[in-house]
Structure 1
């Protein structure tokens, strides 16, 4: 296994559900190989309780989770990202900041989890969580040679093209 730890930033507009679930899943399933972050272009100020509950179930420490802006990752003191993945259509279509180091980027779209009743909303979150988990499992299964910069972009796009 490579000694390099890859910094991965998941982006969504509100940074309240899909990006946060992606951050937690990759952190847990990546077993130290990835350092994960999430942010939003227009953070809504709170992480959805369903996202928190699902992350708690897999053992991810949610105590420090908060909805935050991607501007926190632009400054000179911010960690340099190796990979940036948008997880909602709105964030994919927005003009993103110029990230230092020219990280590999990809779009892994997921529908916005929602429901008209509490049970429907929970079921929607469980469904999207499972879709994210499948793609994250593909990412963590990649050999080191596929995580090198040029090969990584192709690998990320292939994962994003798979059915969620």
Structure 2
């Protein structure tokens, strides 16, 4: 596909306050400069969830400039050309999305919304940890794909398959 430059990836969720922020932070760290991740929402929240901020800090995942944004920011003139767009919520997947600059490969990586978790604080926190672990597993597979040797159709198939990896 593309050689000698970093890949631009956009993660979309309903509010851009938990799942997509976590995915952005994880990929920006483990991608070691080969990937530049962004995140956005269908209906942006006011702020990042406090539990997410705590988890990312504890994992030494930088979120300094992260804030909830609307997806239209990434379809506007001057936005980075995107190589991949991953929807993480059914809301984002069902939204009529724009034609992205760069005509990226897309996939729906459904993740439960940890914001909706109920119960004690520890149970809610565990829901966030579970989603973060799921994203870490998917992104570890993603960054190890042989990008340079795959054509667009093969990449599309590979990134969609990551949504539902086989059980161990």
Residues 1:119 and 2:122 are matched in the alignment? yes
| Structure 1 residue 134: Cα displacement | 0.4
Runs of 4+ in 1 over 4 A off after TM superposition: none
Query: Aligned to 1:39, what secondary structure does the other structure show?
Result: strand
TM-score (norm 2): 0.91
Q: Partners in 2 of 1:19 and 1:146 — Cα distance?
A: 28
CA RMSD of aligned residues (A): 1.6
Query: Number of matched residues?
Result: 163
> Which residues of structure 2 form unaligned runs of 5+?
none
In structure 1, the partner of 2:80 is 79
> Which residues of structure 1 form unaligned runs of 5+?
none
Cα deviations by residue, 1:47-93 (Å, 9 ceiling, x for unpaired) = 11111122222322222111111111111111111000000111111
Query: Aligned to 2:77, what secondary structure does the other structure show?
Result: coil
TM-score (norm 1): 0.93
Q: Partners in 1 of 2:73 and 2:150 — Cα distance?
A: 25
Cα deviations by residue, 1:128-157 (Å, 9 ceiling, x for unpaired) = 110111000000111233565332111101
